[in-house]
Amino acid sequence: SKRTKIKALLTGEQTGMEVTVMGWVRAFRQNRFIALNDGSTNNNIQIVVDFENTDPALLKRITVGAAISVSGILSESLGQGQKVEIPASVIEVLGDCDPEKYPLQLKNRPSLEYLREIAHLRFRTNTFGSVFRLRNALSFAVHRFFQERGFVYLHTPVITASDAEGAGETFRVTTLDPAKPPLTESGEIDFKQDFFGKATNLTVSGQLEGELGAMALSDIYTFGPTFRAENSNTTRHLAEFWMIEPEMAFCDLAENMDTAEALLKYVISYALEHNREDIEFLSQRLLEEEKSKPQQERSEMNLVEKLQFCLDNDFERLTYTEAIEILRNSPHNKKKKFQYLVEGWGTDLQSEHERYLVEKHFKKPVILTDYPKEIKAFYMRQNDDGKTVRAMDILFPGIGEIVGGSQREERLDKLEQRMDEMGIPKDELWWYLDTRRFGACQHAGFGLGFERLVLFVTGMGNIRDVIPFPRAPKTAEF
Ligand code: 4AD
Ligand code: MG
């Protein structure tokens, strides 16, 4: 028989019709009322069991966590709390679940830390149901944004021989035997004998390949997994994360910023429109969590208001140099409340500084531009001042950096000179340099960290809770 999703039934439109639902038991009260969930919504459908006429052996198998199938006529509910219910005419247990061993009994709400340890089952909680439905909606919205604007979705490789960011935080990929690797005459590991013919690693960014695509297709975007072997055990970093990287030919930094701001607003507004229920659920969850905090630490806005606020306001745009001045003269800096005091020009901003600008000073998303060239990647367009590059970082409340991007250096001589200064091997990137030889043009792009976006929209506090199977130091159980 054809099965219907619970979300569709709860609207009540199919009242009076014979329906079949399949899902997992969330609760079974008084041998009479089953709360059934199939992940299409956090709202369960109530199944009414005629227990006097049901085999007691079957009743015993209806336990929390069991997979069951139910058929009956969708009816208006006489009880409180739900519009419709299904008086069961047929119940079948599809998969038993031993209540003694099942770790997700509803009696006491499991902590997020505990659920991280049972990541294989956490999908079955309302919190993670909402998070992963939102993750899905956001990724769909990302594609829709770019497709509506004529961007080509370009698949860039996961195995590559370059380190686009030049940060050296790559995971090596090799088929060589680490116990007895082939050696060159000078005694070094001979990667030429590897299947790829050279030392390879997992990609840290699809940007360089993306630029090749943009130099013919004009506007492209990537959306795939990227890898960083940084050993940072924070709530904002993963070793494996998904990145969205548009690259646009004939585009400058201003248009790049416009595109990034429009993308962020588009996907947030899509989620508010299509996944309102999930956002409201998570908003409520946050409010309850905040009750345990002192008044002054609670946020002024709830999650829905925070998202709406982000849509209603232009992001603040200023240069790195202006930001440093604000930070240096801030009461926070003068009272030495920063762990790292802001003294002068040239150093990278710490996340505490980024959050100060966004949360305390401007109180809205901020785009910082024109960073010192020393703290940015080799491919960024150099400004005429000889000191800064056309970089942009977008900083979000509660998140810090969510987007990093730039206008690219399209002038071959300037690019080569910068690569030399930074010790980036030009011979390995000959294919990248070719685009500067054959019809080079102004172009720009950025990278949006997808999990940081999901963090913002769900209001979750730890990046490990917005990706199904987090990869971070000491967490690769699943
Ligand atoms: O600033 P990043 O390193 O920029 C690049 O990779 C450029 N190639 C992008 C481009 O211009 N096409 O990373 C971009 C974004 C960051 O702003 C952040 O949101 C996210 O990727 N990110 C991470 N997210 C989770 N875990 C990590 N370890 C991350 N590192 C970066
Ligand atoms: Mg960055």
**Residue with more model confidence, 399 or 196:** 399
CATH of domain 6-108: 2.40.50.140
Counting ligands in written order, the one closest to the CA of 259 is 1
Distance 456 CA to ligand 2 centre (A): 17
Given ligand 1 and candidates 169, 232, 243, 351, which is best to mutate, with the most ligand atoms within 8 Å of its CB?
243
Average pLDDT estimate for 31-37: 96
Counting ligands in written order, the one closest to the CA of 471 is 1
Range list for CATH 3.30.930.10 in the chain: 126-169+204-465
The number of the ligand 1 atom at minimal distance from the alpha carbon of 393 is: 17
Given ligand 1 and candidates 212, 375, 448, 452, which is best to mutate, with the most ligand atoms within 8 Å of its CB?
452
Alpha carbon distances (Å) from 80 to 8, 76, 77, 83, 84: 20, 11, 8, 8, 10
Distance 112 CA to ligand 2 centre (A): 28
The helix (run of H) or strand (run of E) holding residue 27 is strand 18-29
Distance 75 CA to ligand 2 centre (A): 54
The number of the ligand 1 atom at minimal distance from the alpha carbon of 405 is: 11
Nearest to 68 by CA among 35, 100, 108: 35
**Residue having the nearest C-alpha atom to atom 18 of ligand 1:** 449
User: Which tens digits make up the pLDDT trace of 227-241?
Assistant: 999 877 899 999 999
pLDDT band at 477 (very low <50, low <70, confident <90, very high): low
Average pLDDT estimate for 184-209: 91
CATH superfamily, with its number, for domain 126-169+204-465: Bira Bifunctional Protein; Domain 2 (3.30.930.10)
User: Which tens digits make up the pLDDT trace of 446-465?
Assistant: 999 999 999 999 999 999 99
- Written as six digits, the tokens of 379 are 């491919």
Distance 230 CA to ligand 1 centre (A): 12
pLDDT at position 475 is: 64
User: Which tens digits make up the pLDDT trace of 331-367?
Assistant: 999 999 999 999 889 999 998 999 999 999 999 999 9
Counting ligands in written order, the one closest to the CA of 204 is 1
pLDDT at position 231 is: 73
Distance 403 CA to ligand 1 centre (A): 7
The number of the ligand 1 atom at minimal distance from the alpha carbon of 452 is: 19
User: Which tens digits make up the pLDDT trace of 396-442?
Assistant: 999 999 999 999 999 999 999 999 999 999 999 999 999 999 999 99
pLDDT at position 474 is: 66
User: Using CA atoms, how far apart are residues 207 and 191, in angstroms rounded to an integer?
Assistant: 24
Instruction: Kindly report the pTM of this predicted structure.
Output: 0.96
User: Which tens digits make up the pLDDT trace of 141-170?
Assistant: 999 999 999 999 999 999 998 887 877 789
Q: Among residues of the chain, what percentage have pLDDT more than 90?
A: 85
Nearest to 325 by CA among 301, 349, 302: 349
**Cβ contact 35:25 at 8 Å:** yes
User: Using CA atoms, how far apart are residues 129 and 465, in angstroms rounded to an integer?
Assistant: 11
- Looking from the CA of 444 toward its CB, the CA atoms found within 13 Å total 21
Distance 392 CA to ligand 2 centre (A): 9
**Residue with more model confidence, 105 or 318:** 318
Counting ligands in written order, the one closest to the CA of 246 is 1
The helix (run of H) or strand (run of E) holding residue 221 is strand 219-227
User: Which tens digits make up the pLDDT trace of 379-397?
Assistant: 999 999 999 999 999 999 9
pLDDT at position 270 is: 98
Average pLDDT estimate for 169-186: 91
The helix (run of H) or strand (run of E) holding residue 422 is helix 412-422
**Residue having the nearest C-alpha atom to atom 4 of ligand 1:** 404
pLDDT at position 168 is: 75
**Cβ contact 290:303 at 8 Å:** no
Distance 332 CA to ligand 1 centre (A): 28
Counting ligands in written order, the one closest to the CA of 162 is 1
* Bridge partners (DSSP) listed for residue 220: 152, 247
Average pLDDT estimate for 174-200: 89
- Report the chain's mean pLDDT, rounded to a whole number: 94
pLDDT band at 106 (very low <50, low <70, confident <90, very high): low
pLDDT at position 210 is: 98
Q: Residue 184, SS3?
A: coil
Distance 126 CA to ligand 1 centre (A): 29
pLDDT band at 14 (very low <50, low <70, confident <90, very high): very high
**Residue having the nearest C-alpha atom to atom 23 of ligand 1:** 449
Report the pocket of ligand 1 as residue ranges, CB < 6 Å.
164-165, 205, 207, 228, 230, 237-238, 241, 243, 245, 401-406, 445-447, 449, 451-452
User: Which tens digits make up the pLDDT trace of 50-99?
Assistant: 999 999 999 999 999 999 999 999 999 988 888 999 999 999 999 999 99
Helix, strand, coil shares, percent, the chain, to 5: 35, 25, 40
Counting ligands in written order, the one closest to the CA of 394 is 1
The number of the ligand 1 atom at minimal distance from the alpha carbon of 207 is: 12
pLDDT at position 413 is: 98
Range list for CATH 2.40.50.140 in the chain: 6-108
Given a cut of 80, whether residue 220 has pLDDT beyond it is yes
pLDDT band at 295 (very low <50, low <70, confident <90, very high): confident
**Residue having the nearest C-alpha atom to atom 22 of ligand 1:** 449
**Residue having the nearest C-alpha atom to atom 29 of ligand 1:** 237
pLDDT at position 42 is: 96
Given ligand 1 and candidates 241, 264, 456, which is best to mutate, with the most ligand atoms within 8 Å of its CB?
241
The number of the ligand 1 atom at minimal distance from the alpha carbon of 402 is: 19
Given a cut of 60, whether residue 313 has pLDDT beyond it is yes
